[in-house]
Amino acid sequence: MVYRILLILRPQKKKSMIYNRLIFILFILVLIFSSCKKDSGFSISGKISHAEGDTIYLEELYVSTRKPVAKVKIDNNGEFEFKGKVSIPTYYLLMLSDNNFITLLVDSVEQVYIEADAANFGKEYVVQGSLGSIQIKELTEHLNRTEHKLDSLKQLNTLYQNNPDFQELNARWNQEYASIIEEQSKFSINFVLNNPFSMASVYALYQKYRDQSYVIRDLQTMRTAASALHAIYPNSNLVKALYENTLQILRDEKAAQMKKFIEEEGVNSPDVLLPDINGKEIALSSLRGKVVLLHFWAAEDQGSRLLNSLLVEAYQKYRSKGFEIYQVNVGVNRSEWIDAIDTDKLKWINVGDLEGSTTARLSYNIQSIPFNYLLDGEGKIVARNLTGADLDKTLARILK
């Protein structure tokens, strides 16, 4: 290709300097490309004093396990080197033993260099050439300093238990203890929020104190990092685990909120007072003594309409046994509401204010429709969001 360019450009002698520069640039690009191909991949090397002749191991970290990658013998100068290839930032353990190791976060073409002494290999070391590994070191050292401060306070607490001023001292130390925990939490949260696209944030999110409690307990921080990292590294097993864990925590949190709601409001569930299609106000509490399905829907919503046929079956089957449906329309179109009641053959109580039935919706924390709660004869919530077979089984059990 370069030869053809020269043939075309040769007649224009007055521009020979430009052509020469073009050839030079092409030559440099070829050298750079060749160099990159030759040196592609990462390396982890270093020098460890007082470890001459020992074996050093490299293991890759996974979600709940680790996999041996390679091992080399440290030479007489204390030097070693590993080489490998990765497509995304990857966690490794550089190990002299199971209890003496360094955690590294290595990207695809990084040239990582470690300097350390064998005695304090995992605690006192210098790392260069890898931003992720430097960040991991920063996170680890900060938590170690925090743990040291907490240990000092625990020791003081033990030493002064028989001191006449112990209660006063203990109160002060407890306050200081809480302050140290808060400072560590802020540090870690700020790290994640400032580095949401860094795989080092995964390490920060999973850091624990020695009592196995997590340093970061802020769900919003976890959601931010999980979303950002999932967008950049969707194929990383660590990111997948973080993303799924975050979703599970969200589900657990909602379940806990619902449990609390049921415990606090279950016996006397919030009353609802809304008009039916004829303008007659009907209270939910007027149905005490019956098993009631409090069902939120919208006549304009296709999903709600599809579920109506299943409700019709349940109503026909269990109405004679004391089952009632109190259906709250959160829609705003009167004609569609009336038409849906008629078309779907809804024979139970249907209420709504045609303004979204906001008070009722907020009282029961309705985030989406269709959605329902099953109330027993005392108005206690006994189940939520039942459909199809689950509704039939629950009603059969309660109304047997």
* pLDDT for 259 beyond 70: no
DSSP class per residue in 262-319: HHHHSTTPPP-EEE-TTS-EEEGGGGTTSEEEEEEE-TT-HHHHHHHHHHHHHHHHHG
For residues 112 and 144, membership in a common domain is answered with: no
The answer to the question of residue 239 being in a domain is: yes
Do 394 and 280 fall into the same domain? Answer: yes
What pLDDT is recorded for position 11? 43
- pLDDT band of 3, cuts 50, 70, 90: very low
Which residue from 227, 33, 197 is spatially nearest to 107, judged by alpha carbons?
Answer: 197
246-269 as b/e: b if 16+ CB within 10 A: beeeeeeeeeeeeeebbeeebeeb
Residue 243 C-alpha from the chain's centroid = 4
For residues 334-353, average pLDDT: 96
For residues 209 and 270, which has the higher predicted lDDT (pLDDT)? 209
Average pLDDT of the chain? 87
232 phi and psi angles, rounded to 5 deg: -90, -40
- Whole-number pLDDT of residue 261: 62
Structural domain for 225, as ranges: 136-261
Shared domain check, 201 and 112: no
Domain shared by 281 and 293, yes or no: yes
- Any domain includes 222: yes
Side chain identity, residue 186: K
CA distance 250 to 248: 5
pLDDT band at 78; cut points 50, 70, 90? very high
pLDDT for residue 369 is more than 80 = yes
Assigned domain for 83 exists? yes
Instruction: Look at residues 261, 295, 316 and tell me which one is the last residue of a structural domain.
Output: 261
Kindly indicate the confidence band of residue 367, based on its pLDDT and cuts at 50, 70 and 90.
Answer: confident
User: Vertex 129, ends 123 and 130: CA angle to 5°?
Assistant: 70
Whether 112 and 207 share a structural domain:
no
| Phi and psi based region of residue 41 (left: phi greater than 0; alpha: psi -120 to 50; beta: remaining) | left
Tell me how far apart the alpha carbons of residues 385 and 372 are, in angstroms, rounded to a whole number: 5
Task: Determine the Cα–Cα distance for residues 328 and 350; give it in Å rounded to an integer.
Answer: 6
pLDDT confidence bin for 7, thresholds 50/70/90: very low
Q: Do the domain assignments include residue 182?
A: yes
Q: How many structural domains is the chain composed of?
A: 4
Q: Is the pLDDT of residue 99 over 50?
A: yes
383: domain CATH number is 3.40.30.10
pLDDT of residue 252 exceeding 70: yes
Q: What kind and span of H or E run contains 133?
A: helix 131-159
* Pair (125, 152) in one structural domain: no
Q: How far is 17 from 168, CA to CA, in rounded Å? A: 85
In the predicted structure, residue 251 carries a pLDDT above the cut 90: no
Shared domain for 168 and 197, answered yes or no, is: yes
In sequence order, the β-bridge partners of residue 181 are none
- Can you give the pLDDT at residue 118? 96
Burial class of 370 by CB neighbour count within 10 A (0 to 12, 13 to 18, 19+): buried
Return the pLDDT at 64: 82
Q: Which residues pair with 68 in a beta bridge?
A: 59
Greater confidence, 227 or 256?
Answer: 227
Round to whole Å and give the CA distance between 6 and 2: 6
Is the same domain home to 146 and 228? Answer: yes
β-pair partners for 45: 81, 113
In a domain, 266, yes or no: no
Q: Is 267 a residue whose pLDDT tops 70?
A: no
pLDDT at 356: 92
Q: Say whether both 180 and 238 belong to one domain.
A: yes
Mark whether 54 and 74 lie in a shared domain.
Answer: yes
Structure tokens, 179? 């302050």
- Residue 267 included in any domain: no
10 with 80, same domain?
A: no
Domain finish residue from 231, 261, 291: 261
Residue 193 lies in a domain: yes
In a domain, 73, yes or no: yes
Tens digit of pLDDT for each residue in 122-176?
989 999 999 999 999 999 999 999 999 999 999 998 899 888 988 899 899 999 9
* Confidence check: pLDDT of 263 > 90: no
